[in-house]
Amino acid sequence: MTARRAIYWQGIGWLILLAPFFFLTYGQVNQFTAGRENIGSLVFAWERHIPFVPLTIIPYWSLDLLYGVSLFICTSLREQRRLVCQLVLASLFACVGFILFPLQFTFTRPEIGGLAGWLFGQLEQFDLPYNQSPSLHIILCWLLWRHFNRHLAGKWQKLNTGWFSLIAVSVLTTWQHHFIDIVTGLAVGMAIDWLIPEQGQWSWQIAQGKRKTLAGRYLCGALASLSGTLLSSWLWWPTLALLIVALAYGRLGVGALQKDHQGRLTPAAWWILLPWRAGMRFSMRLYTRHLPAISPLIDGVFLGIYPRTPPEQHAVLDLTSEFPRSHALCDVAYHCVPMLDLVNPDEATLSAAVYELEQLRTTQGSVLVHCALGLSRSALVVAAWLLQRYPELAPTQAVAQVRKARPQVVFTPEHMELLEKWQTKMTR
């Protein structure tokens, strides 16, 4: 059996399971909520000005077709299983939300005929105005948009984005959902997208030392933000962001922040972690006011802060995990080895960073090594690179050379211990 045929037949099998699972869970929860009393609603005053556009029921219904097609465009069984997990979680998370936070849609649609009227009639046969927040339609819209986009390029990708945007808008113009349902649906869709990443697998680690301390601090921040949700529901956003960062330090490692070697953040990570990144960017601006932007070291290697203007160097090694690739680095050779701030990287990550530094230096002639402030992660990597390039140096000498080039750098006892181990590995 060819791989394509296996994907086809397994897709049919998954569809046979998913379709009744979707309709049973969604329908049963809808019926359950319909029998409950005092079901409220959350509607903004401006929503009453949203027009009812009957023909947008067509893009609204098209999501069901795209749901089925999505299983058959996968290029591997692994991708197909990943998609199935996302679709199952979408239904489960949405149904939990419907039960815990029941809401009712309040607008009354006018009588309509024709094709649009028939499609609305089909919808009303199984749908009741109770499964509202988070909108399952929006959750699926986000997940399927991401899925189809991976298999398209150029104008087709733009067309795909336009159609899924129309689907998202249609939940309002068909008078199926209120605005709060869209916001919560997007949040859940992104959370599922983050939870089941496109590339790689989660690697569970046991936090020790400073990582454990920082994980605890971020967790305390998340709990403080959670308590603030009693005053503003928008604080759920920084709560989730801080919780993910706590997990990155405590258990999941830098992969939880989902930045790749080209400096791109996944769309889910970009949006979910935005409050944390905004805080980190403010901190970076505050602390870099009196720091030199770039400091020359040796042999075409430079240390610096997160660049906001195009550098003179021909290549850049980015060690940040909190920021996407700077817009100032569009026209230079670039590689990213993401590292968590304020803690030691593991040996494999340090080896990768030193290797990429030497590759960029050799092929491009000059390279800027940067983290957020140019004080810790970048200093550690260039010190390890010095020990590899000049084996006669001791760790203290390598550190002294880095300090001479950039006096503000910070080397902790943990850094020195790692450099000692690194030199031992180099001299074997």
pLDDT in tens, the chain (428 residues): 588 899 999 999 999 999 999 888 988 998 888 888 889 888 999 999 999 999 999 999 999 999 999 999 999 999 999 999 999 999 999 999 999 999 998 898 888 889 988 988 888 887 778 888 899 999 999 999 999 999 999 999 999 999 999 999 999 999 999 999 999 999 999 999 999 988 766 777 777 889 999 999 999 999 999 999 888 888 999 999 999 999 999 999 999 999 999 999 999 999 999 999 999 999 999 999 999 999 999 999 999 999 999 999 999 999 999 999 999 999 999 999 999 999 999 999 999 999 999 999 999 999 999 999 999 999 999 999 999 999 999 999 999 999 999 999 999 999 999 999 999 988 77
Count of CA atoms in the C-beta half-sphere (13 A) of 231:
6
Name every residue whose Cβ is closer than 8 Å to that of residue 251 and which is 6 or more positions away in sequence. Answer: 204, 205, 206, 207, 215
Residue type, 391: P
* Per-residue pLDDT at 216: 95
Give the span between the Cα atoms of 353 and 264, in whole angstroms: 17
Predicted local confidence at residue 201, as pLDDT: 67
Options 74, 95, 336, 371, the catalytic residue: 371
Tokens 């050799």 found at: 362
Q: What is the DSSP string of 254-266?
A: GGGG-B-TTSPBP
Residues 92/268/231/183 CA torsion (nearest 10 deg):
-70
- The widest CA-to-CA distance across the chain, in whole angstroms, is 85
Predicted TM-score of the model (pTM): 0.92
- Which residues touch 174 (CB under 8 Å, ≥6 apart)? 52, 53, 54, 56, 57, 60, 109, 120
Per residue in 244-282, pLDDT tens?
999 999 999 999 999 999 999 999 999 999 999 999 999
- Measured CA to CA, the distance from residue 399 to residue 383 in angstroms comes to 6
Token representation of residue 299: 């042999």
Answer yes or no: are the C-beta atoms of 154 and 83 closer than 8 Å: no
Q: Which two tokens mark 186?
A: 């997007």
Percent of the chain scoring above 90 in pLDDT: 80
Sequence letter at residue 122: Q
Distance CA 101, CA 379 (A): 49
Q: Which residues contact 41 (CB under 8 A, 6 or more apart)?
A: 103, 104, 105, 106, 132, 178
371 is a catalytic site residue: yes
Query: Residue 293 and residue 307: Cα distance in Å, rounded?
Result: 8
Nearest to 168 by CA among 21, 94, 62: 62
Can you list the domains of the chain with their CATH numbers? 3-35+45-195 (no CATH), 209-283 (no CATH), 293-426 (3.90.190.10)
